[in-house]
Amino acid sequence: MSAPLLRIEELRVAFRGTGGLIEAVRGVDFGVAPGEVVGIVGESGSGKSLSMLAVMRLLGATARATGGRVIFDGEDLLAATEARMREIRGRDIAMVFQDPQSSLNPALTIGRQVTDVVRAHRRVSASEARRIAVEALERVGISEAGRRLDAYPHEFSGGMRQRALIAMAIACRPRLLIADEPTTALDVTVQAQIVELIAELRRDLGLAVIFISHNLHLVAEIVDRVVVMYGGKVVEDGPAADIELAARHPYTRLLRACVPSLHGPLGPLAAIEGAPPRLGRMPAGCPFAPRCPQAADACEREMPPLATDGARRIACWRPQ
Amino acid sequence: MFRLLAGRFFASLGTLFFVGLVLFALTRAGPGSPARIVLGADATSQQITQFEHANGLDRPFLEQYAAWLFDVLRGDFGKSFVTGRDVAGEIAGALPVTLSVVLLAFVIAIVVGIGIGSLAALRPGGPFASVTRLGVVLGLSIPAFWLGIVLIRFIAVELRWLPPGGYVPPSSGLIAHLQTIAMPAVSLAVYYIAVLARMTQASLQDALRGDYVRTARAMGLSSPRIVFYALLNALPPVINLAALSFGYMFGWALIIEQVFNIPGLSRALLNAISQRDFLLLQGIVFLFTAIFVLANLGADLVNRVLDPRQRSSA
Amino acid sequence: MNRLARLARAADWTGWLGAAIVVVMIGAALLAPLVAPYDPVAISIEHRLSAPDAAHWLGTDQAGRDVLSRIIHGARASLAVGIGAVIIGALLGVSAGLFAAYKGGLGDQITMRIVDGVASIPLLVWAIAIVGILGVGPVTIGSLQFPNEVKIVTLVGCLFSPVFARVTYAVARRIVGADYVKARYLQGASHWQIALGEVLPNCLSPIIVQATLLVAIGIVIEASISFVGLGVQPPQPSWGTMLSDARNALYSGEWWLPVFPGIAISVTVIGFNLLGDAVRDLFDPRNEARTLVA
């Protein structure tokens, strides 16, 4: 594997609670190679979105990164100044979010919002910015882009809005796109289109992508590698095909059984018993142990390390 | 969109018609008929009948109202029975005075109110936000006319910076004009500064928490630009409130004019009351009501025009 | 009760301060003859214009009347007008809102157009004009005689009513259309049962919020109308007339005459505003009570 584009090392994120800091991301560790598509999978509260917001340094006032490093292209983003981050965001790394309905500014035209990104990072004339915006919109599959520049977000459908957001994200040709559950708020048919679009952009632009989702099958369609998170930690990490076909962590296996595949036969759906651990109430051992059908005494006592096994990594005392 | 505008406009005119009718009826509800008031207690009933016939007061009530309203729409407010003077002329003399105080107060309220509210919204838990919160409660609670009295005492009497009252029209010197209306306008503005600052703060704080703000940050837009864009979404309710405030300001300006002894509509209205000059009173109150109704209409329309969702769906 | 516990916990100190001010002011108004040190209208030429001292804590006015006693008695007019107007406005507005929401159709249209019409009336100007037309004398109904303030209370109350009508209407429309209410109708509940059992309890929070904040506005309106001489008539004390009289003292040294009545109004209004804001934060998280401006 070539030198990673992004290297997340021992990342920790904590919320400021009434009784001090509450850790929600507890030492996350993985890398993304140039042009690689990585899926991060986990239930809500697993810390997947939070770690990516930490990478972008967009955590807001209530949470902050308390440890680790985020090395992008040789530079530690957690140590960068805010001004430097502003240069990087949108130009080198861009991020799109879950809800395209609220993620676009309702008071501004689509064209304005795309050209703003261009002009935030490149010294170009207004007409040149417009040209780049039209190109970006066309690339994400918005037809008659020139005419639609003057449309407002409410005149777009949900899928179109998500396309427009992706157009904003790729307008400056970043090297890494972080997509935080970009399809969750969309209709099922539209979901597949957006997934297809992201795969296409990766092919055409050589873009590296981090695709966050709670749907393992959806992710497996397009990603090279899957990172499974649980309780603020990476529990399994490996090539998509291996994870899809032969997950070794009990959590991944259950997760796979929970969601119907888009293509496979529709078998009976499973559900994982119990609920994810609450913030600030993390068990001492493996966070999944209380819900794990295979849990032994050792699992309750001590957190298993993330052990490397060929191309895969797994954190489990009793992998399958 | 145009149909909507026209519809709201005619609805407002309808409201004004009925409210004017109530006003017209009320001015006739007081003790003493106009004829009695003008002709005195010892006028004969024949003289009274004659007077009423000459002035159309013996016609049916609704007909009188319709005639009056029709004249008003053409700018003719009638001729006072008491002073014999043209009511429109009296109003035209006093209105610019009141208007200059209200307009200055309005500008101060908008600039200062939105400015303070925006700054307070940028750091929700910060010291400026706390000071603003305290200031807003004070501003909402201190009556404008008392503030005026206190200002006269300290700025005019103790420090002698500004004249304690009176009015100089702009034609006699803009500086002297502003000196006479500065304290009245500030007294009048303080309450509305508080109202607008509070609304701006709440609305902008809300907008800054929006997902699109996070998107803009994730795309590397600069902070001032992000705040400006959030403000675009935060301002419609503020501007709506500002338009409403403009209507209310005229009412409180009446009291403020009394404090600063300014010869505006307040003096005209109180004169009309003390001389039982109904036509003048009716004209002034109708004018205030029209301004108020139009301010409400403006507030309503501003919201629709500023919001792109409503703009294209309407 | 759960709500009370939440009240105690969540209301920060400003809410409690507001409540304390309101209680003290209402207490002073109710017990004025007991707590005021002097007769508020007793003229005493030898004590005129004396500065605040041990005998007269807040000094005396041009007629030698005790300022503190006049302020305490003046609280009666202010609070009576403020609270009275809000009660009248709430009764009228809630009835209108309920009626319109229930009746639907033409009755709804007409009622709410009337409410809109009343809301299009600039309060202060009309209050001044109408008292001006009717005169400042007492009102006689049968054998009962009421002071001039009755006109102001009634008028301000009527003009406050749209605020309550709109809040009630909005909540009532939402509730009448809700599935669980439809289900209760199917079970045979009457309109009255729904109105009293479902709609009113749900309107209560925004109504209480608006009521508290409107009392503050009513107090300032009373003071303003009295200030221009159309409210409480001398020699009866009121904060507005005291300030009006104090204008004569602006150029001489009697600072206490304009200062103390103004502080009395401001503190009372602050009390109601703080209490109203605290109640809003607590009971009306949905913010059904709209921003008030006057």
pLDDT in tens, B94-113: 999 999 999 999 999 999 99
Other beta carbons within 10 Å of B132: 22
pLDDT (tens digit per residue) in A280-296: 778 888 888 888 888 88
- Please count the residue pairs, one from chain A and one from chain B, whose beta carbons lie less than 8 angstroms apart: 80
The DSSP secondary structure of chain A, one letter per residue, reads -PPPSEEEEEEEEEEEETTEEEEEEEEEEEEE-TT-EEEEE--TTSSHHHHHHHHHT---SSEEEEEEEEEETTEEGGGS-HHHHHHHBTTTEEEE-S-HHHHS-TTS-HHHHHHHHHHHHS---HHHHHHHHHHHHHHTT-TTHHHHTT--GGGS-HHHHHHHHHHHHHTT--SEEEEESTTTTS-HHHHHHHHHHHHHHHHHH--EEEEEES-HHHHHTT-SEEEEEETTEEEEEEEHHHHHHH--SHHHHHHHHHS--SSS---PPP--SS-PPPTT---SS-TTGGG-TT--HHHHHSPPP-EEETTEEE--SS--
CA-CA distance, A230 to A316, in Å (whole number)?
12
Q: Which CATH superfamily is domain C27-293 in?
A: MetI-like (1.10.3720.10)
Cα distance between residue C91 and residue C159, in whole Å: 12
The stretch B190-208 carries a mean pLDDT of: 95
Across chain A, mean pLDDT equals: 88
Q: Is the Cβ of B228 closer than 8 Å to some Cβ of chain A?
A: no
Q: From the CA of C68, how many Å to the nearest CA of chain B?
A: 18
| Closest C-alpha among A95, A99, A101, A133 to residue A117 | A133
CA atoms within 13 A on the CB side of B213: 22
A-chain CB neighbours of B126 within 8 Å are none
Is residue B4 a contact partner of residue B313, using CB atoms and an 8 Å limit? Answer: no
Cα–Cα dist B135/B138, whole Å: 5
Give yes or no for residue A22 having a pLDDT over 90. no
User: Domain residues for B29?
Assistant: 2-73
Question: Could you tell me if B29 lies within 8 Å of chain C, comparing CB atoms?
Answer: yes
Task: Give yes or no for residue C115 having a pLDDT over 80.
Answer: yes
B and A in touch (3+ CB pairs within 8 angstroms): yes
* pLDDT per residue as tens digits for the range B212-262: 999 999 999 999 999 999 999 999 899 999 999 999 999 999 999 999 999
B292/B229 same-domain check: yes
State yes or no: cis peptide before C235, omega within 30 of 0.
yes
Which residues in chain B have their CB less than 8 angstroms from residue C241's CB? none
| CB-CB neighbors (< 8 A) of B218 in chain A | 56, 58, 89-90, 94-97, 169
For residue C76, how far is the Cα from the chain centroid?
A: 12
Q: Pick the most confident of B246-255, B303-312, C54-63, C276-285.
A: B246-255
Q: Is B217 on the interface with A (CB under 8 A)?
A: yes
**Same domain assignment for residues B213 and B275:** yes
Share of chain A above pLDDT 90, in %: 52
pLDDT of residue A265: 54
Per the CB < 8 Å rule, is B217 touching A165? no
The Cα–Cα gap between A298 and A304 comes to 9
- What is the number of alpha carbons within 13 Å of residue A255 lying toward its C-beta? 33
* CATH number (domain holding residue B137): 1.10.3720.10
Give me the residue spans of the domains in chain C: 27-293
CB contact under 8 A, B232 and A107: yes
Residue among A97, A120, A155 whose CB faces B221 most closely: A120
Do B204 and B280 fall into the same domain? yes
Q: What pLDDT, on a 0 to 100 scale, did the predictor assign at position B217?
A: 94
Looking up tokens 């497996």 gives A220
CA B261 to chain centre: 19
Segment C200-255, tens digit of pLDDT: 888 888 899 999 999 999 999 999 999 999 999 888 899 999 999 888 888 887 88
More confident residue, B31 or B261: B261
| C224 interaction partners in chain B (CB closer than 8 Å) | 143, 145, 252, 255
Q: Are residues B302 and B157 in the same domain?
A: yes
> Least CB-CB distance to B220: which of A90, A96, A108?
A90
Q: Do B61 and B104 reside in the same domain of the chain?
A: no
CB-CB contact of A111 with A149 (8 Å):
yes
Q: Is the pLDDT of residue A204 over 60?
A: yes
What is the pLDDT, as a whole number, of residue B148?
95
Query: What's the average model confidence in pLDDT over A113-131?
Result: 94
> Would B281 be classed as within a structural domain?
yes
Q: Which amino acid, residue C7?
A: L
Handedness of CA A274, A276, A280, A285 (dihedral sign): positive
Beta-bridged to residue A23, according to DSSP, are A14
Q: Is C117 on the interface with B (CB under 8 A)?
A: yes
For chain B, state the CA radius of gyration: 24
Sign of CA dihedral B156, B160, B165, B170: negative
Q: Please check the confidence at residue C10 and state whether its pLDDT lies above 70.
A: no
Å between B158 CA and nearest CA of chain C: 9
Residue with tokens 């769906």: B313
Nearest to A121 among B217, B220, B233 (CB): B220
Residue C1 pLDDT? 47
- C223 and B152 within 8 Å at the Cβ level: the answer is no
Residues B148 and B247 in one domain: yes
| Tally of domains in chain B | 2
Using the beta-carbon criterion (under 8 Å), do B211 and A90 form an inter-chain contact?
Answer: no
Residue C91 has pLDDT above 50, yes or no: yes
Could you say which DSSP state residue B31 is in? S
Contact: A120, B210; criterion CB under 8 Å: no
Determine whether the interchain pair C133/B270 forms a contact, defined as Cβ–Cβ distance below 8 Å.
Answer: no
Nearest to B248 among C14, C277, C293 (CB): C293
Q: Is the pLDDT of residue C75 over 80?
A: yes
The listed CATH number (3.40.50.2000, 3.40.50.2300, 3.40.50.300, 1.10.1740.10) that belongs to domain A34-61+81-92+175-314: 3.40.50.300
Distance from CA of C90 to the nearest CA of B (A): 21
Residue A25: per-residue pLDDT: 92
Instruction: For residue B80, tell me if it sits in a domain.
Output: no
Q: Is the pLDDT of residue B120 over 50?
A: yes
Q: What is the pLDDT of residue A256?
A: 78
Task: Please state, for a pLDDT cut of 70, what percent of chain B lies above it.
Answer: 97
* Cα distance between residue C5 and residue B156, in whole Å: 51
Q: CB C124 to CB B251 under 8 A? A: yes
Whether the CA torsion C272, C274, C279, C285 is positive or negative: it is positive
List phi, psi (to 5°) of A215: -105, 105
Chains with 3+ CB–CB pairs under 8 A to B are A, C
Give the B window 9-68 contacts with A, CB below 8 Å. Answer: none
In angstroms, the separation between the Cα of residue B243 and the nearest Cα of chain A is 21
Given a cut of 50, is residue C3 above it in pLDDT?
Answer: yes
For residues B100 and B168, the answer to whether their CB atoms sit within 8 Å is: no
| B4 interfacial to chain C (CB closer than 8 Å) | no
CA B15, B17, B21, B23 dihedral sign is positive
Complex-level ipTM? 0.89
Q: Do C224 and B252 touch (CB under 8 A)?
A: yes
pLDDT at B314 (0 to 100): 40
**Beta strand spans in chain C (E):** 139-141, 144-146
C289 pLDDT tier (thresholds 50, 70, 90): low
- The Cβ of residue C290 has, within 10 Å, a number of other Cβ atoms equal to 14
> Within this chain, do residues B42 and B111 fall inside the same structural domain, yes or no?
no
Q: Does B215 touch chain A (CB under 8 A)?
A: yes
- Residue in A closest to B236 by C-alpha: A107
Average pLDDT of chain B? 89
Residue B258 near chain C (CB below 8 Å)? yes
Instruction: Give pLDDT, residue A270.
Output: 63
pLDDT of C5 higher than 60: no
Q: What is the pLDDT of residues A50-84, one digit of tens each?
A: 999 999 999 988 899 999 999 999 999 999 999 99
Please return the burial class of C75, using the count of CB atoms within 10 Å of its CB with bins 0-12, 13-18 and 19+.
buried
Mean pLDDT of B175-180: 94
Interface probe for B, chosen from A103, A155, A156, A161 (most Cβ of B below 10 Å), is A103
Distant-in-sequence, close-in-space partners of C170: CB < 8 Å, separation ≥ 6: C288
CATH 3.40.50.300-classified regions of chain A: 34-61+81-92+175-314
B100 and B145 in a single domain? The answer is: yes
Q: In whole angstroms, give the CA distance from residue A267 to residue A218.
A: 16
The SS3 call for residue B162 is coil
From chain A, which residues contact B within 8 Å (Cβ)? 56, 58, 86-91, 94-97, 99, 102-108, 116-117, 120-121, 152, 154-155, 165, 168-169
pLDDT-derived band of residue A259, with 50, 70 and 90 as boundaries?
low
Pick from C116, C125, C269: CB nearest B254? C125
C-alpha torsion B53→B57→B63→B66, nearest 10 = 120
